[in-house]
Amino acid sequence: MKIAYLSMEIGLNENIPTYSGGLGVLAGDHIKSAADLGIPLVAVSLLYKRGYFMQNINPMGWQEEVYPYFDPRAFMEPLPMKLTVPINGREVKVGVWKFTYQGLKGKVPIYFLDGDLEDNTAADRLITQHLYGGDSHTRICQEAILGIGGYKALKRLEGGITTYHMNEGHSAFVTLALYHDHDGDLDRVRDYCTFTTHTPVPAGHDVFDYELAEQTLGSFLPAQIREFAGEDGLNMTRLALNLSRACNGVSELHGEVTREMFPGYEIGHVTNGVHHLTWTGPDYARLYDQFLPHWRKYPEVLAASEQIPDELIAEAEVSAKRRLIRYVNATSNAGFTEEFLTVGFARRAAGYKRATLFFTDMERLLNLTRNRVQFIFAGKAHPRDEAGKKVIQDIIRTTQTYEGRVRLVYLKNYNMWQAALLTQGVDLWLNNPRRPREASGTSGMKVTFNGGINMSVLDGWWREICQNRVNGWAIGDDEDTSDEETAADFYAVLEEAVTTYYANRPQWIKMMKASIADCAPRFNTQRMVKEYLEKYYR
Ligand SMILES: *Cc1c(COP(=O)(O)O)cnc(C)c1O
């Protein structure tokens, strides 16, 4: 058995800007746990030399993007080889960089494909410059490099692949590469492929005009492509579904939603996780080393976290919070204090995540939180997502309009480093997506390894573990509700949390421990990768 894992983005750490958000971080965590378990897996992605952007906020509160040059040479090794991928009737040259992730038990090589070579035309050199940049032509070219170039790279460098795991539809052209290599034998192609979808709405799936696809890929598109990929447009999700032996969503609810969206396919689910060794901060790691020494290899032993004395749990929390507050104050002059209940909300600024719902009733929020609660927001909007940028601007305007009355900061340039600092340092982590749009969500899982408490809509992963008032708080119940109802529910549970934090410390610490004990053993990528191994890998 040897698994090839293909992903448009892979987030390994903040040094390498080849990820934009949850999808890439999940891919990195998947790879890390596979290496920890010694599972034979190799990975392929693209190298973006002007990566995902860095975020500035102008005086109007509007996001601006800058694209500094990323030099990969400190982190990866350029391999002395070139591939070609047929694009627009030319053979585009593609270089390969190798990154090796060393886990507890084994190594996983990650091959980053790079079109920025001198022998390419100026236009072709730009194909892999930016993650999720450019138009649909750039996108289909990137996906051709990922799927077709990825297949060729693996054939030359690895061989013996038994399963191609497509992480999202972006890499679905690998099925066509297999198709050509196996003389159009569809059963053979399906035999090799498994597919994970992450997007619970039709608009989130890549669909290319056939005219564009034919112009870009020419004879690489099989004559019967419309049978595999849809009549009206080349739908990468349909292509992946039709040419895979198996498919899964990323939480129980997301599995259900995906089955409704794509009737007629067998679709299961594997709930996402996070890599425990990446996301547990130093303070808690020390505690776990002391009290639950096998947690690094067996994160499920964190179920026994009630053995850790309350005062040490509280100390670890304050220490992580102190690091976060220092950063907040050093970058914003906000005058935050470790004495206050510290609430975080950070993730991509996408409309469905409803970051501004908390401000529905400002008077109520001010009364509830005055001199007791401080809020930290962060998250990038996609460069072309005006609505997402408006969300950021609304948050920043709220901090200005209510300055002195609400403690609220917006941290710019959210990335993996900041995500770690935040998820380790907050007391409470908010999440209120429009159900069922958050296929799984993973940032809340990071919080649980660090004694933080989730307060979230029952969507994705949280719906599978939340026991309200025991291991966290539920906003609303297990059904889809309006924005108004969700906001009202939010104020009610926030009030409860504030009261518990200040008036009932033993109860708060009990909830911190329940958050660790209930969530950490399950929502880690070790459990997740083992599930892929049992259900989907061979
Ligand atoms: C974990 C992580 C995410 C995912 O956050 P969600 O709340 O699950 O959407 C996004 N961005 C970064 C940088 C992360 O580390």
Cβ(336)–Cβ(328) under 8 Å?
yes
With the most atoms of ligand 1 within 8 angstroms of its CB, the residue from 10, 442, 447 to mutate is 442
**Alpha carbon nearest to ligand 1 atom 12, residue:** 21
Statement to judge: residues 428 and 346 lie in one domain: yes
Number of independent structural domains in the chain: 2
Q: Are residues 187 and 199 in the same domain?
A: yes
Q: Are residues 251 and 287 in the same domain?
A: no
C-alpha 52: how far from chain center: 14
> In the prediction, which pLDDT does 350 show?
87
In the DSSP assignment, the letter for residue 53 is P
The pLDDT, as a whole number, for residue 71 is 97
Give the C-alpha separation, 496 to 474, whole Å.
11
pTM of the entire structure? 0.98
Split the chain (538 residues) into runs of 10 and give each run's mean pLDDT.
98 97 97 98 98 96 97 97 96 98 98 97 97 95 98 97 98 98 97 96 90 96 96 97 98 97 96 98 98 98 97 97 98 96 95 89 95 97 95 96 95 98 98 92 98 97 98 92 92 97 98 98 98 98
Separation of CA 431 and ligand 1 centre (Å): 11
Query: Could you tell me if 206 and 247 lie in one domain?
Result: yes
Asked whether residue 265 falls in the same domain as residue 282, the answer is no
Distance of alpha carbon 17 from alpha carbon 435, whole angstroms:
30
Domain match, 252 and 287 both: no
Cα of 182 vs its chain's centroid, Å: 34
Q: Which of 382, 386, 371, 357 is nearest to 476 (CA)?
A: 357
Spacing, Cα 224 to ligand 1 middle (Å): 38
Pair (402, 461) in one structural domain: yes
Among 150, 157, 144, 79, residue whose Cα is nearest residue 117: 79
For residue 96, the cross-strand partners are 113
Q: What is the pLDDT of residue 353?
A: 85
The predicted structure's pLDDT at residue 204: 81
* Alpha helices by DSSP H, 358-461: 362-369, 386-401, 416-425, 443-448
Contact 240, 230 (CB under 8 A): no
Amino acid at 93: K
**Cα–Cα distance measured from residue 457 to residue 29, given in angstroms and rounded to the nearest whole number:** 24
- The pLDDT of residue 479 is 85
> Closest residue (by CA) to atom 3 of ligand 1?
22
Task: Provide the CATH number for the domain around residue 315.
Answer: 3.40.50.2000
* Rounded Cα gap, residues 396 and 356, in angstroms: 10
pLDDT at residue number 524: 98
Whether residue 310 sits in one domain with residue 217: no
Domain that holds residue 84: 3-273+527-535
Indicate if 292 and 262 belong to the same structural domain. no
Q: What is the pLDDT of residue 312?
A: 98
If asked whether residues 258 and 306 sit together in one domain, one would say no
Question: How far apart are the C-alpha atoms of 501 and 314, rounded to whole Å?
Answer: 12
139: tokens are 């996108």
294-299 long-range contacts, Cβ below 8 Å, gap at least 24?
296/104, 297/36, 297/104, 299/520, 299/521, 299/524, 299/526, 299/527
Ligand 1 interacting residues, C-beta cut-off 6 A: 21-22, 25, 347, 414-416, 419, 441-443, 446
Measured between alpha carbons, how far is 51 from 426 in angstroms, rounded to an integer? 28
Centroid of ligand 1 to alpha carbon of 423 (angstroms): 10
Distance 21 CA to ligand 1 centre (A): 5
- What 8-state DSSP symbol labels residue 468? B
Residues 134 and 513: their CA atoms lie apart, in Å, by: 46
